[in-house]
Structure 1
Amino acid sequence: MSDKPKPQLVFVHGIGRPRDADEELTKWKRALASGARAAGFASEISALTMDWIADCSYAYYGDLFTDGEGQGADAPDALDEEEAAIVLGLLAEFLDEEAARPENRDNRALARVRAQVLPVGQPQGAGAAGRHVWAVATAVAALPGVAQAARWATASDVLRTWSQPARYLRRGDKDTEGRTLDARIRNKVLDCLDRERPAVLVGHSLGSVVAFEALASYDGPVPLLVTIGSPIATSGLIWPRLRPRPPATPGCVDRWLDFWDNDDVVVPRRKLANLVRPNEQGVTPTSQRFDSRMWWAHGAATYLERAEVAGPVVKTLSAGCAVPNVSAETAAAGSAEATAPAPS
């Protein structure tokens, strides 16, 4: 065995309803193992799925978005005026991005929906903001092509995509101890980390924002940060609200890889590599684009199964510790588990 401290691999999820963290951890590891095989790291698959190569954890915070009765911000009147204004801004930028796509330049339905979105901050009257957001979300869910590509069948589906980032960025929802929702979410990530050991973090969607902000206050070694399907560069509402300001690569990060799919409806066209300031080591994000031509390109597993994503993760972890000697039968069992189909 190596004398080096065993690395950590921390997954940070994005939006969605409450989920089983253990099941999600297994799904993410299987998807990453599939990508590792594609990247030529077949011998490391068992070490990855059985936590020999690293201690793997899933920073779960989805339950913090509910009120204890399963009611989230994807229901009518669930958003306050500030949250509604943020959602409207995010929807406006999303619709502008979609309108700029060549296939949508003559999409009159999209243009009509975009015209319904009021400028952020425009007075609307008590209770009107939530109703207006719901009306816009309903119209977006009905957009042909756009809604199907984003897997939006209802207004709740639309709001689930944008209301959780809005609530996080609002920096409100204090608990009995005075901790805001965004701080409690970041603590879920920090609680997974041991400052005495190197850590690789993989943040998906909203999880990329959470990981980025959490690492700003972290002083342990992070040889690799990976962001996938990230909305960090969304110019209207997310980028201006990031903390700390101006946004820079966290000082603890030695390397930052950002992967985005051109068909991912959540990712803006502005790229992190052109925006984020370097840390003291001169580290800035390196972005790589995919063109999957998929109806649903935003899923975490869709990214993790790619060799380009999994390869650097496994290579970085492999450099951090030695794989223990195991029997051929045990290794084969771990490999078989890893290559089971991973949902996207």
Structure 2
Amino acid sequence: MATGKPQLLFVHGIGRLRDSAADRRRWLQALAVGTRDAKMPDVISALTQGWLADVTFVNYSDLFNRQGAQGPAVVDLNNEHEVPFLAELLDSMLEELAEQFPLESSPQGARVIRDARFQLDAAIENRQAQGVGDIGRRLIGVTTTMLRLPGVCQAAQWMNGSTLLGQLAQVGRYLDRRAKKAELGAAIRSRVLDGLDPARPLVVVSHSLGTVVAYEALHEYEGMVPLWVTLGSPLALGAVVLDRLVPRPGRCPENVASWRNFWDRDDIIVGRPHLAEWIRPSMSGVKAVTERVESRGLWTHTATKYLEHGAVARPVIEALQS
């Protein structure tokens, strides 16, 4: 049984080059807001001062951003592996979004999804007559349309469809298992596991692509994990992600005692609440318990939006206290 001071591990998702110290501070501040929302204000000082747990923010963003580029993420429109993956990913995302924005209750959202679907289908149907570069440019049109979705169109996280597509490409690059390409995923998982003490309890909070990274890293980890929290996870985005996971078929890591999954309807990356259905429980019966949260204000695909919810913060604090 793991004993000693708990470890709290933050694992980020897609995005630009990050500042480890600044992001650690932002995630902790957001978790403190969520802790207050959960009516647990007495724990905030212990959390933010590091008395409750040793807190680590895993930063692997430099492995995606060549030469430490500070600008927007870019996609190689002529990459014969990357572009087809992105088309498949967008197809899965639109399928999920169509369920989230039905015509009868969300006419504006449904129209946006319909337009994006038309653009994507046209790109896929004509792929034999087009070069990869032309298909890639059409995919930028798809993501540009998707950014018109209610709750997303006013957010400033993605300046345009090209930026969004470039960040989505990071998912494919991580999941690329071809020879030399697989070294990127191994390097990222090494960042996650480096410095952890398997003799002490570990609570993991992962977001977006970070949930995919954490899934694979936790299968390699030798210590006990009282709680794994996934936020805005694409793990259940159909075959495009699920069928590329290692190990496969997807199953909850055996060392995880509790798995809490949170999603927001306005999060265009998330794969909705299918984790419990599509990823098998561990041998001890642990599987994802999914809960929907509704973010306040303008939505952006960020971990901090999730962490500010009491429903998210409470199980994290309780796991660190136990």
Alignment of 1:86 onto 2:85: yes
Tell whether 2:178 aligns with 1:164. no
Match of 2:205 in 1: 202
Larger Cα-atom Rg = 1
Q: What one-letter code is carried by the residue in structure 2 that aligns with 1:65?
A: F
Q: How many residues of Structure 1 are paired with residues of Structure 2 in the alignment?
A: 311
- Secondary structure at the aligned position of 2:124 is classed as coil
2:191 to 180, 188, 191: 188
* Counterpart Cα distance in 2 of 1:93 and 1:78: 20
Is the 1:77–1:131 contact (alpha carbons within 8 Å) kept by the matching residues of 2?
no
AA at the equivalent of 2:175: L
1:113 alignment partner in structure 2:
119
Aligned ranges 1:167-316 → 2 under 5 Å: 167-172=173-178, 174=180, 180-292=183-295, 295-316=298-319
Task: Write the letter of the residue equivalent to 1:219.
Answer: E
The superposition leaves residues 142-192 of structure 1 with CA deviations (integer Å, 9 ceiling, x where unpaired) of 4572261675432322213310001111134838xxx61111111111114
CA contact (8 A) 1:16 1:62 kept: yes
Q: Specify the SS of the correspondent of 1:241.
A: coil
User: Is the 8 Å Cα contact of residues 197 and 221 (structure 1) preserved in structure 2?
Assistant: yes
- Distance of 1:78 and 1:69 partners within structure 2: 21
**In 2 relative to 1, CA 69–173 (structure 1 residues): closer, same or farther, beyond 3 Å?**
farther
Q: Does 1:138 align with 2:141?
A: yes
Alpha-carbon distance, 1:112 to partner: 2.9
**1:60 match:** 59
Shift of 1:115: 2.5
1:78 deviation in Å?
5.8
CA offset digits 1:267-313 (Å, max 9, x no partner): 12351122221112111110001234754152211100111111111
SS in 1 for 2:255: coil
- Supply the AA of the counterpart residue of 1:211: A
8 A contact 1:234–1:270 mirrored in 2: no
Q: Distance in 2 between matches of 1:148 and 1:192?
A: 40
Offset at residue 95 of structure 1 (A): 2.6
Distance 1:304 1:192, change over 3 A: farther
Q: Distance in 2 between matches of 1:295 and 1:116?
A: 31
Which deviates further from its counterpart, 148-157 or 279-288?
Answer: 148-157
RMSD, aligned α-carbons: 2.6
Q: Output the TM-score relative to the length of structure 1.
A: 0.82
The CA distance in 1 between the partners of 2:145 and 2:237, in whole Å, is 23
Asked if 1 retains the 8 angstrom alpha-carbon contact of 2:74 and 2:167, the reply is no
Partner of 1:342: none
* 8 Å Cα contact 2:77-2:83 kept in structure 1: no
**Percent of counterpart pairs with the same letter?**
40
For structure 2, the 5+ residue unaligned runs are none
Per the alignment, residue 153 of structure 2 pairs with 148
- TM-score by length of structure 2 reads 0.88
